[in-house]
C-alpha cells in the first residue's frame, strides 16, 4: 500500500486481527479453498451434507469451517438441516438477518475455537475469521 500513498499516510487496522509484518496471515491466504461440481441437482443436498460432514471429521475433528452459499435462502435451508435434523450446531449469517444478529453471530464465530458457519456473500466482503481450518 505504501507505494500508492503519500509519505505521511496512516494505516488503520479496523479489525485488530494482528495482520502485519509479524502477525498471522489472513484466512484467505492460510486456508486451502476448494469447490465441488455436483453433476446433478438431484444430488445437491446429499452432496453438500456429505462434504460438510467430511470437513467436520477431518483431522482431529475440532475444525472451524466456513461454507459459502450463493443465496440467503440456501444458507438458512442448510443451517436448518444441520441444526434441526442432524443436531449438529451451525451458525447462519446472511443478508436477511438483522445487523445486530449478524454482528452477534460473526463475533461468536470469530471467538470460537471450532464451529460451523453457513454464510452467503455477506461474509465475503472483507470479513476475516481467525483460525478457520476449512
Question: Residues 51-100: pLDDT tens digits?
Answer: 999 989 887 878 899 998 989 999 999 999 999 999 999 999 998 998 89
Read off the DSSP letter of residue 95. T
2: left (phi over 0), alpha (psi -120 to 50) or beta: alpha
Please provide the average confidence, as pLDDT, over all residues in the chain. 82
Environment class of residue 10 by beta-carbon count within 10 Å: exposed (0-12), middle (13-18) or buried (19+)? exposed
132 or 77, which is more confident?
Answer: 77
Task: Provide mean pLDDT across the span 95-113.
Answer: 90
**What is the spatial distance between Cα 77 and Cα 68, in angstroms, rounded to a whole number?**
13
Amino acid at each position: 500500500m505504501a507505494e500508492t500513498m503519500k509519505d505521511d499516510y496512516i494505516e488503520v487496522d479496523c479489525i485488530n486481527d494482528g495482520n502485519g509484518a509479524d502477525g498471522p496471515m489472513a484466512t484467505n491466504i492460510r486456508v486451502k479453498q476448494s469447490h465441488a461440481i455436483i453433476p446433478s441437482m438431484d444430488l445437491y443436498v446429499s452432496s453438500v451434507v456429505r462434504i460438510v460432514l467430511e470437513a467436520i471429521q477431518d483431522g482431529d475433528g475440532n475444525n472451524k469451517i466456513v461454507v459459502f452459499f450463493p443465496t440467503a435462502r440456501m444458507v438458512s435451508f442448510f443451517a436448518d438441516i444441520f441444526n434441526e435434523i442432524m443436531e449438529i450446531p451451525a451458525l447462519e449469517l446472511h443478508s436477511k438477518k438483522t445487523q445486530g444478529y449478524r454482528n452477534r453471530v460473526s463475533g461468536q464465530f470469530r471467538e470460537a475455537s471450532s464451529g460451523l458457519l453457513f454464510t452467503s456473500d455477506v461474509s465475503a466482503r472483507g470479513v476475516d475469521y481467525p483460525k478457520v481450518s476449512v
